[in-house]
Amino acid sequence: MTCTTPLAGRARLNHALDRHVGNYQARNFMRDAMRVGDGVLRYHSSCPELGIASIVEAPSGIRPGPTQLETASPYFDPRSQPDQPRRLPIDLKKAWEHT
């Protein structure tokens, strides 16, 4: 499977911060129901070859994105508030990757 995603460039790392969960339903599920140690199927949805790219687990809980309130950041979100963040990244630990 060949496709470039934000996490794919860090494939050599065992942990990476995934800041690119753009789907609000997925974000809300991660925020409300996902727990440390849960497994996740990461998939490529905007590539010529769609499918599961890796299996990862959540080694830590979800937390407010560190750059969503910084105006110079590409992840700046003017609708985010310190007490109601919109971007909630999660650390992901790779368990398996499609080759």
Residue 2 in any domain: the answer is no
Instruction: Say if residue 67's pLDDT is above 70.
Output: yes
pLDDT at 86: 84
| Residue range(s) defining the domain that contains residue 58 | 8-79+86-97
15-64 pLDDT per residue, tens: 445 555 667 787 788 888 888 889 888 877 777 878 888 888 888 878 88
Structural domain count, the chain: 1
What's the pTM value of the predicted model, to 2 decimals?
0.58
Rounded Cα–Cα distance for residues 32 and 61 (Å): 11
Residue 60 in any domain: the answer is yes
Residue 1 in any domain: the answer is no
Side-chain-side CA neighbours of residue 56 (13 Å): 23
Residue 3 in any domain: the answer is no
Rounded Cα–Cα distance for residues 29 and 70 (Å): 25
Residue 24 in any domain: the answer is yes
Q: How many CB atoms lie within 10 A of CB 76?
A: 14
The larger pLDDT score, comparing residue 81 to residue 99, is at: 81
Residue 40 in any domain: the answer is yes
Instruction: Say if residue 94's pLDDT is above 50.
Output: yes
Quote the tokens at residue 23. Answer: 């789907």
